[in-house]
Amino acid sequence: MDPNAVKIYTDGSAFDNPGERCGFAYVIEFPDALDREFEVYKETRNGSTINRMELSAVISAMRRVISLCTEIDVTRAMILTDSSYVNDNKNRAETWRKNKWQKFDGSPVENSDLWQEFLSVRQKVRCSFDINFIKGKSNPATKYVDKLAKEAAKAALGKRDSGYQKGKVARAKTAGTSRLYDLGNESERIRIYGYQSRGRGVTQLYKVKFEILDENDTAIEDHKFFAYTKSSISRHGIYTVNFVTNATFPMFEIIEE
């Protein structure tokens, strides 16, 4: 830790992740030489996820760094996050943008709206700063920001996270969790029990949870999967589909409804 740096501890919270009660916060510690009281900020969001809240906290902290660079003599700022999601991907975002928000396997980048905002805000910071990982609840500051983020998430009203698109989910008739489609078959009869839309317009893609049916349209036990499609779908819909098999990004096209 640089004793001369402004330190901003960030955290996000989401009850019943993903869920309605979400929020994020940051706590700023100023170096002794500035003789300035610590600063806190928290914000509530309705309908989001923990990863979006963690990333939103870092973006908000970067915006505050921009203003601090003009308000006081900041030589360095350190933004600290306990989110592996943010820390692991902070240097991948630029590559994702160049690849039109797709990963190398062709799958869509989750939370691309926030990562785009992250890159836009980051390039506006004019003083030296870093984004580093710190273990959560490892010191009084991280415990405090965790408390603030949870308080924000528990607040009754907040702005809706317009970038989060809630999936439509129905209860599956079979037990167990879905796994990435890996059967390699070209054609299947499926029943959809959940999906989530990603992107808009020509880039819209659906992550679909489904169960595979037999010739009598009865669900086959332990055959619950997820895959992706660009086809228009409906919850509870039964379809005959063709799969384009890919070990990490299986897609299907609807042949018959």
Number of structural domains (the chain) is: 2
Q: Are 145 and 101 within one domain?
A: yes
Task: Tell me which residue has tokens 């700022």.
Answer: 77
Both 125 and 240 in one domain: the answer is: no
**Which residues, at least 6 apart from 3, have a Cβ–Cβ distance to it below 8 Å?**
31, 32
- Other CB atoms closer than 10 Å to residue 178's CB: what's the count? 18
Report pLDDT digits (tens) over 143-185.
999 999 999 999 877 888 888 766 544 444 445 578 888 887 7
Last residue of a domain, one of 160, 176, 211: 160
Q: Residue 148 corresponds to which tokens in the numbers above?
A: 């603030």
CA distance 186 to 246: 11
pLDDT computed for residue 17 by the predictor: 81
In a domain, 221, yes or no: yes
Question: Which of 160, 184, 213 finishes a domain?
Answer: 160
The residue type at 181: Y
Residue 220: which domain range?
168-256
DSSP state of 106: S
Predicted confidence at residue 170, as pLDDT, reads 45
User: What per-residue confidence (pLDDT) applies to 181?
Assistant: 87
Tell me the chain's radius of gyration from C-alpha atoms: 22
Residues 102 and 173 in one domain: no
* CATH number, position 190: 2.40.50
The pLDDT of residue 57: 98
Do residue 136 and residue 251 come from a single domain? no
Q: Are 23 and 52 in contact (CB under 8 A)?
A: no
State how far the alpha carbon of 131 is from the alpha carbons of 18, 83, 218, in Å.
25, 11, 51
Q: Are strands 187-198 and 238-244 parallel, antiparallel or unpaired?
A: antiparallel
Residue type, position 156, single letter? A
**Whether 24 contacts 10, CB under 8 Å:** yes
Prediction pTM value: 0.71
Q: Quick one: 23 and 82 in the same domain?
A: yes
Q: Give CA–CA dist 50/6, Å, rounded.
A: 25
Cα separations in angstroms, 189 against 7, 54, 213, 215: 55, 39, 5, 8
CB atoms within 10 A of CB 51: 20
Beta bridge partners of 122: none
Residues 127 and 189 in one domain: no
| pLDDT tens digits, 44-62 | 999 999 999 999 999 999 9
Domain end marker among 97, 130, 160: 160
Answer for the pair 20, 46: CB distance below 8 angstroms, yes or no.
yes
Regions in the chain scoring below 50 on pLDDT: 168-174
Q: For the chain, how many helices (H) and strands (E)?
A: 5, 13
CA distance 85 to 58: 12
Judge if 31 and 136 occupy the same domain: yes
